[in-house]
Amino acid sequence: MVEQVFAYFPLLFVAFGAVIAWGSVRGIVNGRRFVRGARRVPGVVADVRTTFAGRGEHLRASRRPVLTFTTVEGREVTTESWAVSDLGVGREVEVLYDPQDPTHAAPAGAVGGGYGGIVLGLVAAVAGLAFFAVFSEFFGSFGGGGF
């Protein structure tokens, strides 16, 4: 019984990798959709808000710029970016904002996402499948039965 549980353990890597890859694909698709419909205007980083997640050695900081800009229609907006960025206070930036909701904005360079998450997810999934195949063969050869 324990051997069977252990033999299926690598499938957690497959699931983990699939979730990471899917989340990265969603982020890229949503970022591109946002860029297509967004308006571009000049703006400035008025402040930077830092949030923390995790504990101890796993503590991570995320910096989100607070953007001030004037919409195409002339409305002045100050809002926290939904995208993480390392821009400093006072920096002039090109701002992308949703014309239906100008408070949904981000610096132009911070939108789009990368492919690193997809690669990491696929590597984890392939490694999980490889380990599963090896463990299935290993436990099958010791009379644990085939999978």
* DSSP sequence for 79-110: EE-SS---PPTT-EEEEEEETTEEEEEEEGGG
Query: For 63-71, what is the mean pLDDT?
Result: 95
Note the pLDDT of residue 70. Answer: 97
Note the pLDDT of residue 84. Answer: 87
pTM of the model: 0.66
Q: Which residues pair with 60 in a beta bridge?
A: 53
Q: In what order do the strands lie in the sheet with 101-107?
A: 76-80, 60-70, 39-53, 92-98, 101-107
Cα–Cα distance measured from residue 111 to residue 127, given in angstroms and rounded to the nearest whole number: 30
Q: Cβ contacts of residue 13 below 8 Å, gap of 6+?
A: 124, 125, 127, 128, 131
Note the pLDDT of residue 138. Answer: 61
Burial of 58 (0-12, 13-18, 19+ CB in 10 A): exposed
16 touches 124 (CB < 8 A): yes
Note the pLDDT of residue 112. Answer: 65
Predicted confidence (pLDDT) at residue 41 exceeds the cutoff of 90? yes
Query: Which of residues 114 and 122 earns the better pLDDT score?
Result: 122
pLDDT band at 65, cuts 50/70/90? Answer: very high
Note the pLDDT of residue 128. Answer: 85
Predicted confidence (pLDDT) at residue 139 exceeds the cutoff of 60? no
